[in-house]
Amino acid sequence: MPLELDPAQTTDAVASLDGIEGSSSSLPRRDIREYARRMAGNESERSKRPIASAVLKDGTLLEMVFRADEHRTAFARCADGRVSESEDFQSLEVGSVVPFAPTNNLLAHGVILFPSEASAYENDSQLAIEIRAFIHRYADLSDAFEEIATHYVPLTWVYDAFNEVPYLRLKGDFGSGKSRCLQAIGSICYKPMFVSGASTISPMFRIIDSFRGTLVLDESDFRFSDEKAEIVKILNNGNAAGFPVLRTDVTPSKEFNPRAFEVFGPKIIASRSSFDDPALESRCLTESLSGKPPRKDIPVSLPESFHEEALVLRNKLLTFRFRHRLEIAQRRAPDVTLAEARMAQIIAPLLAVAQETSAREHIAAFAVRHTMAINAERESSLEAQILDIMSSMRREGAAWNVKDIAVLFGDRYGSDYNRVSPRWMGAQLRRRLSLIPVKSNGNFVVPKTAESQVMILCERYGVLDEHES
């Protein structure tokens, strides 16, 4: 819709930008003038809210597209199976909205990537083959994880149809190929937001909340404890819908106004080590990179064709979203028997996306192996060691006196820890196992009423009692 402009406003706006044309700006003169005209537009035009996507109640899908060669953004709109394009959109549900401007720094510097149009593809199976070939061409992953990544990519394009999503995690030391894997997988995900190396954590909340895409995070770039803590908040809250992060915000008038930032969405993370939080660790489907030299057919540096190939796939995946976003959550994932309920929960969306029986079997097998690895690590943890002591005391009919637990723990495992004392043991019982010692006859003990909780914990941590039926 053409803008109604005040000629004086247009002249002043263009004049005010004359200095830009003589600066380092790479925008051509026509784009500067177009930007000036838009800035000088009437009040209703300036009040339009920028968004990147929307799902309307009537099934209409809006997705922002970005044509870098034309310095132009638009909406690709899918309604009743038909795709059209427009520069803005208006409805009672979302109000008057426009796509983010092409001059936005996040677009100009490739921090967030978009498709340029919705392109046709043959079928979902062929699209999966193309995705896997692209990942294989530029990243060195195990066959099992390559299969997981192949189906994780289309999952990111329909993730908002589900209530939970898993994370992909690349774990390894410097030089192990984590960054290349992030680029190869992340560049074809849904609205990938590359925030690795950010100078501060604050913009991350706003980027995720505003664009609602796939966070591609090099976690090792954030070295300070306060940054790590903020990242953990995003990761802990971000795998399930309905758990925003509250952060302090202050209005221009200095009014205290806390804001809820939506952080739910798929995430691809690179880190050097495991997370301290076992719950967070269980949300990740992890590939451990050995650091061995990559396959000889993988280019040392990414060629220019990489970005063109990634854009072609993003365009096809936009069509995948238009075809499947409204129906994919209704697909029933095949039943997978796993000891860990959480693992069954987080891989369910992957299984719903994967249509080939063999792919589903491979994903399920990966989940089983991943669960076994988590259980093996859990069984060697401090929690398991404490429960091992408590289980032995229970068999002998001894009360769970915290001092006695500390003495027995020190005798069996003390060489692995600096100092084992009753105070230290009491803190571990409370913090790690949620067992609250109470004072009885001058001593702190874990009460007999906690026996059923202890037994559940023993089973969870693999502390088996051969005397139990």
Mind listing the pLDDT tens digit for each residue in 19-50?
444 444 455 555 655 555 555 554 455 579 99
Looking at the structure, tell me whether residues 193 and 339 fall in a common domain: yes
Mind listing the pLDDT tens digit for each residue in 52-69?
999 999 999 999 999 999
Looking at the structure, tell me whether residues 306 and 197 fall in a common domain: yes
Q: How confident is the model at residue 82 (pLDDT cuts 50, 70, 90)?
A: very high
Write the CB contacts of 225 (distance below 8 Å, at least 6 apart in sequence): none
Looking at the structure, tell me whether residues 284 and 150 fall in a common domain: yes
Q: What is the pTM of this model?
A: 0.76
Mind listing the pLDDT tens digit for each residue in 137-190?
999 999 999 999 999 999 999 999 999 999 999 998 877 889 899 999 999 999
Looking at the structure, tell me whether residues 373 and 432 fall in a common domain: no
Looking at the structure, tell me whether residues 219 and 128 fall in a common domain: yes
Residue 469 lies in a domain: no
pLDDT at 70 over 80: yes
Residue 113 lies in a domain: no
Summary mean pLDDT of the chain: 84
Q: Which of 94-103, 250-259, 330-339, 389-398 has the lowest mean pLDDT?
A: 330-339
Q: Which of 337, 356, 377 is the last residue of a domain?
A: 377
Which H helix or E strand runs over 61?
Answer: strand 61-67
Residue 109 lies in a domain: no
Mind listing the pLDDT tens digit for each residue in 301-326?
999 999 999 999 999 999 999 999 99
Looking at the structure, tell me whether residues 167 and 249 fall in a common domain: yes
Looking at the structure, tell me whether residues 268 and 404 fall in a common domain: no
CA 441 – CA 25 distance, rounded (Å): 78
Range of the domain at 33: 7-103
Residue 118 lies in a domain: no
Looking at the structure, tell me whether residues 300 and 449 fall in a common domain: no
Write the CB contacts of 238 (distance below 8 Å, at least 6 apart in sequence): 208, 215, 263, 264, 265, 267
Write the CB contacts of 298 (distance below 8 Å, at least 6 apart in sequence): 137, 138, 139, 140, 180
Structure confidence at residue 3 (pLDDT): 37
Instruction: Mark 153-189 as b/e (b = at least 16 C-beta within 10 Å).
Output: bbbbbbbbbbebbbbbbbbbeeebbbbbbbbbbbbbb
For position 455, which CATH number holds?
A: 1.10.10
pLDDT at 100 over 50: yes
For position 135, which CATH number holds?
A: 3.40.50.300
Q: How confident is the model at residue 12 (pLDDT cuts 50, 70, 90)?
A: very low
pLDDT at 292 over 70: yes
pLDDT at 392 over 60: yes
Tokens of 303: 């060629």
Phi–psi pair at 50, nearest 5 degrees = -80, 135
Question: Do the Cβ atoms of 132 and 150 come closer than 8 Å?
Answer: yes
Residue 465 lies in a domain: no
Count of domains forming the chain:
3
Q: Which residue has the tokens 């571990």?
A: 428
**pLDDT above 90 as % of the chain:** 53
Mind listing the pLDDT tens digit for each residue in 233-286?
888 889 999 998 888 766 666 666 788 899 999 999 998 887 777 778 878 899
Structure confidence at residue 360 (pLDDT): 86
Between residues 312 and 432, which one has the greater pLDDT?
312
Looking at the structure, tell me whether residues 168 and 254 fall in a common domain: yes
Structure confidence at residue 355 (pLDDT): 81
pLDDT at 115 over 90: yes
Q: Once rounded to an integer, what is the mean pLDDT over residues 397-414?
A: 92
Looking at the structure, tell me whether residues 255 and 185 fall in a common domain: yes
